[in-house]
Structure 1
Amino acid sequence: MAHRYLNFSRTPVIVRRYHDYIRVASQGGLMRVPLSSPKVVGVVNSRGNRSHQEDFYGYATLSLNPEELRLSVKKAHGIDWDYDAVGEVMSRQVLHGGSAVSQYLRQELHGLFESVDKSVIADLFAWIKEIGGYFKRFKGGALAPWIEGKSDEEMTLEARATLAFFEVDRNLSADSVAQTCGATASVAILHSLDAPSTPFFSAKTLALTVAHCGDTRVLLCNTEGGKVFPMTENHHADARVESIRLRRMMGSSLITDSYGESRWMGALANTRCLGDLRYKRFGVTPEPEVRTKLLNGEDWAFMVLVSDGISSMLSDAEIVDLARGAPDPKTAAERILAFSEELGGDDNATTIVVPLAGWGKVTGPDSTKDLREYRRNQAVGSERQRRM
């Protein structure tokens, strides 16, 4: 994005139930564990040398409708989760976290994600159709069952994420700055299916839902050999998912700039984003790509979210290898950022490391160790030559 700040002067009234701690069952009742602890979620953030841009991130424990959560895991994984066995408070608890490039999203997305309601879908869809162009043929995606306002079924997490992302665009449409400013956003929802309920970092069975719009990488690290499993694909115009979507609906408006980078309409690196409203009728959409995965917690060591300031410098395998073996998630995140900067990365960068039940149990060799050492030596040599 050319610019990464979005301003919004008419923030909607949102009932906020989310909080910055996770409830954990103990013999004495429920205790609160702060998400800001470096052992619970590890985060590092660097603004780099590009003063006009900045990454933002956020994480919180949301309170969602347990029936909606049940329908989501039933549809995605065929599991009929019994939330009555968990209890009223714990059945609503999910971890919501992610990376974005907008201060507005950091402040508002948690509350918006919690509060959006299916009753507004019909009006929202009418607004979407008014955009024209690409959206003349848009059928509603995950929102389709509620467009006529007749379905009593609860939304799934995919529908909730889609509704929340489109609502961001509708809210921003009142701001002229949002016509030419855009933000990427990727969120991960971790929902423990254990009964009695357990927190995400020790859950034996965990439902992961990733709603993704842009080029943040969301990666899982398996305990068996430290294998990496990506949950996102970059939404660039020449990427597989996006090229199929855009050619089917819009033909091709892909232009390569003087640096050899592909730009949609000659301007945008990402073809899914929030904001950049002037490009929406040309196929740029806030509709998130939603992927789900059922996790046996002990098979997975951690999840990593990184912004493009990291992923442009490091491969997926290098990212997870740098995190494995770290004493805590905060240190793991610091290692990833530090190595990116050693290689010359100067873009704004964010790394979030979320431990899972297999934390500290990765087996097998560090497969990228020799490559990283070679790249480090190359970077040092290049820096010496530059100073001569």
Structure 2
Amino acid sequence: MSTATLINLVRNGGYQVRRRAVLTSRLLQDEKRPTAACYSSTSERRASRFDPDGSGRPTTWDTFGIWDNRIDEPILLPPSIKYGKPIPKVSLANVGCASHIGKRKENEDRFDYAQLTEDILYFAVYDGHGGAAAADFCDKYMEKYIKEFLAEEENLENVLNKAFLEINKAYERHAHLSADATLMNSGTTATVALLRDGIELVVASVGDSRALLCRKGKAMKLTIDHTPERKEEKERIRKCGGFVAWNSLGQPHVNGRLAMTRSIGDLDLKNSGVIAQPETKRVQLHHADDSFLVLTTDGINFMVNSQEICDFINQCHDPAEAAHVVTEQAMQFGTEDNSTVVIVPFGAWGKYKNGEINFSFSRSFASSGRWA
């Protein structure tokens, strides 16, 4: 698509006029959906937009291989010119999120999303253990450290690497200065995503919280759990003087205590090879194919596998409803842990529905998300 076409697409004014420039057909109605929030949606589906030729087939942006129109957003002009294709704005107002305490006494999960700069969005989940102190610290200060490194670094993977390491050092200083000795044993997972220009997605993660992208209806994993079962992780633990022990359920733990090999906090295990260095993943979005980004904590991951998460979300009207469906399904499947999910819709939201999916109230242990 030429630059001139992109400019005209945006500057002709109004949703309907912009679409006429590309679709060359008149849209009969353009009702706005209510803004999504972090609670279950009960709003009715809006009416479809139909081609005036009487065919009864809905006219959407995706008809022309661009993106679906179930969540309306304007085109971002500079990024569209830069990448040579229309890129829709990703609005924080449409993000869906939910967090459930499960059967725990305290919810140690935290989540956040924000606009850091004019062109960069931030999404994160933190799953605390040994108390919520480390998760709270990340929830409060991660944005600050990312912004600091954004001011001096263009590469988003480098930004996240530096932010993770620096916030771990800051938490260590905080714990040593605190009169609360329990802070030394507190730790947290961290799965953080940055989205630049509505198209450049970078994810960094430590621990066993996850990020996945739904592309053409299929789950695309963006993170790998940091567990002692991974050969390279186990070797690092042993080289640093730590050891891996299995509990009565056959689950490996570092020094018999921690089920993950990377985390922020867990200061008493840092000399045993538990590091805060994240693994990162960079993806360029294709809004005609990519429906949403999902960040989840292990209260969901332990019971619901990645493809099931995608399938459940694809049946929902909006991300707010979908977030609650995912946490409710994890509870129905038997999770007892805190369960948190953040869902970020992209251009193909609502496009890849599978009519054969049924919501379930039971499952076998062998098919749960930890192993599937």
Q: 1 CA distance for matches of 2:154 and 2:183?
A: 28
Counterparts in 2 of 1:303 and 1:26: CA distance versus 1, 3 Å: closer
TM-score by length of 2: 0.66
Identify which range, 331-340 or 249-258, moves more after superposition: 249-258
Q: 2 CA distance for matches of 1:187 and 1:306?
A: 11
SS in 1 for 2:103: coil
What corresponds to 1:342 in structure 2? 332
Query: What is the 5 A alignment of 1:172-251?
Result: 172-174=171-173, 175-176=175-176, 177-192=182-197, 200=198, 206-223=199-216, 226-240=217-231, 242-243=233-234, 245-246=236-237, 249-250=239-240
Query: What is the 5 A alignment of 1:366-385?
Result: 366=356, 369=357, 373=360, 376=362
What corresponds to 2:164 in structure 1? 165
Note if 1:302 corresponds to 2:335: no
Note if 1:99 corresponds to 2:125: yes
SS in 2 for 1:292: strand
Counterparts in 2 of 1:317 and 1:238: CA distance versus 1, 3 Å: same
- Tell me the CA shift for residue 298 of structure 1: 1.4
Query: What is the 5 A alignment of 1:40-55?
Result: 40-55=94-109
- Tell me the CA shift for residue 215 of structure 1: 0.6
Q: 2 CA distance for matches of 1:363 and 1:169?
A: 41
Find 1:61's aligned residue among 105, 115, 118: 115
Query: What is the 5 A alignment of 1:300-339?
Result: 300-339=290-329
Q: 1 CA distance for matches of 2:223 and 2:90?
A: 29
The alignment yields a C-alpha RMSD, in angstroms, of 2.8
- Tell me the CA shift for residue 53 of structure 1: 4.5
Counterparts in 2 of 1:191 and 1:269: CA distance versus 1, 3 Å: same
SS in 2 for 1:298: coil
Counterparts in 2 of 1:154 and 1:165: CA distance versus 1, 3 Å: closer
Deviations for 1:194-222, whole angstroms, at most 9, x for unmatched residues? xxxxxx3xxxxx11100101111111112
TM-score by length of 1: 0.64
Q: 2 CA distance for matches of 1:117 and 1:94?
A: 10
Matched-pair contact (CA < 8 Å) for 1:222–1:228 = yes
Deviations for 1:275-305, whole angstroms, at most 9, x for unmatched residues? 1112111111001101111121211111111
- Amino acid in structure 1 at the alignment position of 2:225: N
- Amino acid in structure 1 at the alignment position of 2:321: T
Q: 1 CA distance for matches of 2:218 and 2:96?
A: 20
Find 1:115's aligned residue among 137, 148, 151: 148
Deviations for 1:83-128, whole angstroms, at most 9, x for unmatched residues? xxxxxxx4xx21111100311211111122101489xxxxxxxxxx
Matched-pair contact (CA < 8 Å) for 2:203–2:282 = yes
SS in 2 for 1:173: helix
Structure 1 moving runs of 4+ over 4 Å: 23-27, 244-247, 363-366
- Tell me the CA shift for residue 377 of structure 1: 7.2
Matched-pair contact (CA < 8 Å) for 1:24–1:33 = no
- Amino acid in structure 2 at the alignment position of 1:115: E
Structure 2: stretches of 5+ with no match in the other structure: 1-72, 78-88, 129-134, 177-181, 366-372
Find 2:352's aligned residue among 334, 342, 362: 362
Tell me which structure has the larger Cα radius of gyration: 2
Q: 2 CA distance for matches of 1:114 and 1:285?
A: 22
- Tell me the CA shift for residue 344 of structure 1: 1.8
